[in-house]
Chain A
Amino acid sequence: MDSPTNKMVRICILAVLGVVLNLIEPPVPAPIPGIKLGLANLMSIIGLYSLGTYSAIWITIIRTITVNLFLGFDLRGILSLGGGVVSALVMEAVYYFYKRETGVVAVSMLGGLMHNFTQWLMVVILLQQPYLVVYLPFLLLSGGVAGLFVGTTGVYTLRKLGGFISGKDSQP
């Protein structure tokens, strides 16, 4: 059950579920355009806590690239790739070093926070618009709240389906 192929297939299935969530999720009505709940991040969290290290980063990369193949690579694609990769890397690092001392909800929140922080930093640098600085608190807040929501959902999903996803249980 622990063969690399087995893990790879599970990662890919989670990534594809993430793609679907990404495509069907509507943006949240907010004064700043483009704020989303980031449901797709749920798949990275579930992957990380059921399949172990390196799964979140792979799920994120596969997911964002696939979504961009659907929507076409533009600024939004680059932003989602950058934000996703950095947030997944941070979550992976915390999981790797502090697995015992941290929980799903907090790690997910940190992921959401880093996701929006990275996107903001990229927008400010790429568009050279210093005045976008003022968006930062709103983006961080929404990222953190979305992360908390996704993390809480993740806890319940893992409790019910964690074993099935990792392959330890054969029945959901």
Chain B
Amino acid sequence: MRRAFKYSSLILLVLALLFAYWVNKAETKPRTVRDFAMDTYIEITTYRHSDDAVTEEMLNDFKLLESIFNRYDENSVVFDVNKNAYEKPIYIPAIFMNLLTESLKLFYYTEGHFNPAIGPLVDIWMKVIKGEEFTDLPEINILNEAMSLSKTRNIIINEQDRQVSFTIPGVSLDFGAVVKGFAVDRAFEILKNRGTDRAVINAGGTIGVYGSPAGRKYWRIGIQHPRREGIIGVLNLTSNMVVSTSGDYERYKIINGKRYHHLLNPFTGYPSEELLSVTIINKNGLLSDAVSTAVMSMGLQKGIEFLTQKSLMAIIITPDLKIHFTGDAESLFQPEL
């Protein structure tokens, strides 16, 4: 009896090792295609040979979206609209109308914190971050002018003739904050039509998990640590979820010891300051993208109030590196040790 007692720890160790081996074995080999589209990095992971055609179809769709919504590309539809829509109404494709009207709905949904007309303000701050034209901070009157241009009331939509026009010159639409989520939603649609079992789509950090993983219960999506290399934790997700993160660490410049990044508060005209990153988990990618951008601008208190009221799942990281949860997000989150 006493001898059995002595060896039981050894038996337990062997069992644990066998178990660890077995679970590692159960993973299936994924196939990942990496490419660039929509001014960002794309990664599509599928699990069967027959899915290669589907991957190709999704990549082509992303490139189609790029040709419509990349406002830095002179041949894109949005460039044409931003340039000419004051002079005459511009006829736009159905996808454009779709994303524009959805974006305006999200503008009201987020109480103006996500703003599809924020282009003029973005232009100024991107120049600041890249160090072009402005070596220092922009003057307040320049920001004020840009803010008055960045109003959705300057946009006139004619749904019947599928036309869009601007009331004043200088208005500029920017779908950069939502096009990735929109693209993931469309990719899910393609996967559904093609009857694919499972796939992971990473559109520049907006990640969609489709179907359920093979041989295990959850997809594991890492959340970037906002201040160092590596992840701050992992999200355990079941099927068909889109995770979108907005953070102050992607594109930024430090001026006089202060961090100025590309996520702007449309009400102050300055980069939002209170939060390091916001991660939204939702079935709808467009909504995830828009809300993560909007909550960055709202700040902690207003953001949590808003998310709780709409019962959305979010993970918010504040400058003290504290992690705040809304909805049921805490139950999905596993901190990285």
Q: Do A and B bind each other?
A: yes
Q: Cα distance A134–B220 when bound, in Å? A: 15
> Does B1 contact A129, Cβ atoms closer than 8 Å?
no
> Does A127 contact B218, Cβ atoms closer than 8 Å?
yes
Separation in Å of the B6 CB from the closest CB of chain A? 13
> Does B1 contact A128, Cβ atoms closer than 8 Å?
no
Contact code string B10-30 (vs A, CB < 8 Å = 1, else 0): 000000100110011000000
The closest CB in chain A to the CB of B20 belongs to: A133
| A124 interface hit (Cβ, 8 Å) | yes
> Does A128 contact B217, Cβ atoms closer than 8 Å?
yes
Which 3 A-B pairs have CB atoms at the shortest separation, nearest pair first? Answer: A130-B23, A128-B217, A128-B216
> Does A131 contact B220, Cβ atoms closer than 8 Å?
yes
Q: Cα distance A131–B20 when bound, in Å? A: 9
> Does A130 contact B217, Cβ atoms closer than 8 Å?
no
Q: Cα distance A42–B330 when bound, in Å? A: 30
| A31 interface hit (Cβ, 8 Å) | yes
Separation in Å of the A153 CB from the closest CB of chain B? 26
Q: Cα distance A135–B234 when bound, in Å? A: 14
The closest CB in chain B to the CB of A126 belongs to: B217
> Does A130 contact B24, Cβ atoms closer than 8 Å?
yes
Give A129-146 interface residues, CB cut-off 8 Å to B.
129-136, 138
B interface majority secondary structure = mixed
Separation in Å of the A67 CB from the closest CB of chain B? 19
Q: Cα distance A31–B233 when bound, in Å? A: 11
> Does B218 contact A130, Cβ atoms closer than 8 Å?
no
> Does B20 contact A127, Cβ atoms closer than 8 Å?
no
Q: Cα distance A132–B334 when bound, in Å? A: 9
Give B1-59 interface residues, CB cut-off 8 Å to A.
1, 16, 19-20, 23-24
> Does A129 contact B218, Cβ atoms closer than 8 Å?
yes
Complex interface: chain A residues within 8 A of B335 (CB): 31-33
Complex interface: chain B residues within 8 A of A127 (CB): 217-218, 236
> Does A129 contact B216, Cβ atoms closer than 8 Å?
yes
| A70 interface hit (Cβ, 8 Å) | no
> Does A31 contact B337, Cβ atoms closer than 8 Å?
yes
Q: Cα distance A138–B24 when bound, in Å? A: 21
| A156 interface hit (Cβ, 8 Å) | no
Complex interface: chain B residues within 8 A of A138 (CB): 337
> Does B20 contact A130, Cβ atoms closer than 8 Å?
yes
> What are 8 A-B pairs at a CB distance below 8 A?
A31-B335, A128-B23, A128-B217, A129-B217, A129-B218, A130-B24, A133-B16, A135-B337
